[in-house]
Amino acid sequence: MTTDAWCGRSQAVGLRLQQQLRELQREYPSLVADIRGRGLMLGVDLRLDHVAETQTGMLAVMQQHGLLLYMVVSFLLNVEHIRIAPSFTHGNVLRIEPPLVADASLCDRLISALGRLLDVLQRGDAGTLLAHLMEESPASARPAIDGPKRRSPAQPPISSQERDAAPKRFAFNRASPGERRSAPLRLEPGNHSATRNWRA
């Protein structure tokens, strides 16, 4: 192919990709602020602050600590097998820079992956977004875990063997030196948010 042919091809593929990204923006207006760029150098400006403002779960906490964009990029790489870099100078922008040989099928694959990601973010599904960090199967393939079983007062106390055989669970409880200490976080089965009971 000649240089002009490559340039024309990349312009056509880039225009198609930009149109598909704008469709995603229309579908998820609360999460996609803007689509910028030309040709095969595009940027998707995500509204991740919207997650922190409207949700109360793990994703909101991650955004408050500036980590959500990096988990988004990690999810795209490790789950969707799409390598996208964040813009280190422009906040929550994903840099979309496919290779010059990109074609329609590669663009469709990218758009499908971004659509699944935006759906996860909109639902606040931390389990799906973070499952690739565990050495387990994806969250959707794992069976649901029943919550802890309550013992009736008439039952004898738990033996040390039963206690040692029970699955181990933990949570972090952070309090600043001047704060009141709080009760441990309680995770509700099927709910990714935590509740806290404050003590006087």
The pLDDT value given to residue 182: 47
Question: How many Cβ atoms from other residues are within 10 Å of residue 146's Cβ?
Answer: 7
CB burial of residue 167 (10 Å; 0-12, 13-18, 19+) = exposed
- For residues 47 and 54, what is the distance between their CA atoms, to the nearest angstrom? 11
The pLDDT value given to residue 38: 85
- For residues 85 and 66, what is the distance between their CA atoms, to the nearest angstrom? 15
The pLDDT value given to residue 179: 53
Laid out side by side, the sheet with 85-86 consists of 32-38, 41-46, 93-96, 85-86
The pLDDT value given to residue 29: 95
- For residues 60 and 67, what is the distance between their CA atoms, to the nearest angstrom? 10
The pLDDT value given to residue 6: 73
65 phi and psi angles, rounded to 5 deg: -100, 10
Residue that the structure tokens 């990709």 belong to: 17
Residue that the structure tokens 């709910």 belong to: 191
Kindly report the pTM of this predicted structure: 0.65
Residue that the structure tokens 């959500």 belong to: 68
CB burial of residue 87 (10 Å; 0-12, 13-18, 19+) = middle
Q: What is the domain partition of the chain in residue ranges?
A: 3-133
CATH number of 3-133: 3.90.1150.10
The pLDDT value given to residue 155: 60
Per-residue pLDDT of the chain (200 residues; tens, 9 = 90+): 777 777 788 888 889 999 999 999 999 999 999 999 988 899 999 999 999 899 888 999 999 998 999 999 999 999 999 999 888 777 899 999 988 888 888 999 999 999 999 999 999 999 999 998 886 545 444 444 443 444 455 566 666 676 666 655 544 444 455 555 444 444 445 544 444 444 44
How do residues 35-53 score in pLDDT, each as one tens digit?
999 888 999 999 999 998 9
